[in-house]
Amino acid sequence: MAEWKRVKLGEICSRICSGGTPKSTCRDYYENGEIPWLNTKEVHSNRIYGTENRITQLGLDNSSAKWVKADSVIVAMYGATAGNVAQTRIPLTTNQACCNLEVDSDKASADFVFYYLRNCYSKLLLLANGAAQQNLNAQVIREYEIPLPPLPTQRKIAAVLGTLDDKVENNRKICANLEAQAQALFKSWFVDFEPFGGKMPSGWKMGTLGEIAEVIRDSIAPDEMPEIVEHYSLPAFDSSQLPVYEQSSTIKSNKFRVSKGALLISKLNPSIKRLWDPFVDTDTAVSSTEFVVIVPDKVELKSFIYSVLDSQPFFAYAKAHAAGTTNSHQRVSPDDIMRYEIAIPAVRVTQDYDAIIKPMLEMRKEALKQSASLAATRDALLPKLMSGEIDVEKVEV
């Protein structure tokens, strides 16, 4: 690292700024908006290809929000994701809790800066929590020092890590494509009835989800669990959609048992879609009681029920039936979920549908597993490349 020099972020950025939030009560600032607007909750060591929310030009003109260039590095200054970083792949606007770094490409690689700051999460979080500073703000970030190798080395390090992230992103696209295909087929068959002349065939009937599946409430206490459990938790879903294998001694509350063939859907905050086709690779699978464990009456119904729960109409139904005192603690009841009305098809049709969809769900699971392995490799390489412990010239991916 003899050639690595220490620089302040302000010295290698052409622009550092925060954003702003248009007045939330003004519909004209948001309705039919086409300008991507990033909230800090979307900043979590990731690349940004799109945003959950959009604003209008009127909203942009009447707030502190401002355009940020593609490939900028974004640091969350406060809130739940404080200390986390992201890199935007599209031009966008942000809220005021984002510190946006437009890196001067003649001085540094934006990709390298993103990965380096990603490796500094604990230090940035310490600043954000006020242990060393009053808070994490644009001036603190501007003065933050990082070691900077020569530009060619920066680009090589970023390329190694970026190649792994490119593969993860490709898997994400594969999963999204599989989901889109499954939903298109579901709508065609079971909503529009296109293969059946545009109307519900004879032999089918209108019914409820509870007529073809049941909610399993079999719980287990931590002291009854085996030493290691396959744990399906909300944080695990949000992180990778993969279970965590952990010691039961670290679990503090009762969990639901999860059997093969079950599906999990979160009853907490249904405005966030959390639908899980669990792996159940062991006999010790358990889930958070914030999930509803649903078991189809017949094996061949699983793909159909998964698609019902994944559909936009069900998503809207769950949100409409949520109850709670605050937006962050709303829940939809298992009984309301099972009262959802559907067209119940003939057995032969669900068998044909399962034959098409089941392999797609299995492909999705394999892509998730591969992404987890790639991410683990990236996370192991990251600190060693950034410290110079590993010579980037000797790394192959």
Q: What is the pTM of this model?
A: 0.84
CATH class as words, domain 151-182+347-397: mainly alpha
What residue segments make up the domains of the chain, in order of their start? 5-148, 151-182+347-397, 205-344
CATH code for residues 205-344: 3.90.220.20
- 15's CB contacts (< 8 A; 6+ apart) are 100, 101, 102
Q: How far apart are CA 157 and CA 165, in angstroms?
A: 13
Instruction: Give pairs for 236-245: CB < 8 Å, separation 24+.
Output: 237/266, 237/274, 237/276, 238/274, 240/368, 240/371, 240/372, 240/375, 241/276, 241/368, 242/279, 242/368, 242/369, 242/372, 243/278, 243/279, 243/281, 243/285
| Helices within the chain (DSSP H only) | 9-12, 57-61, 110-118, 121-128, 138-143, 151-190, 234-240, 302-310, 312-320, 334-338, 347-387
Q: How far apart are CA 266 and CA 240, in angstroms?
A: 15
Please choose, from the candidates 331, 327, 323, the residue with its C-alpha nearest in 3D space to the C-alpha of residue 274: 331
pLDDT of residue 326: 56
pLDDT of residue 14: 97
pLDDT of residue 373: 95
pLDDT of residue 239: 84
In the chain, which stretches have pLDDT less than 70? 1-2, 129-135, 325-328, 397
CATH code for residues 5-148: 3.90.220.20
pLDDT of residue 133: 46
- Whether 151-182+347-397 and 5-148 are alike in CATH topology: the answer is no
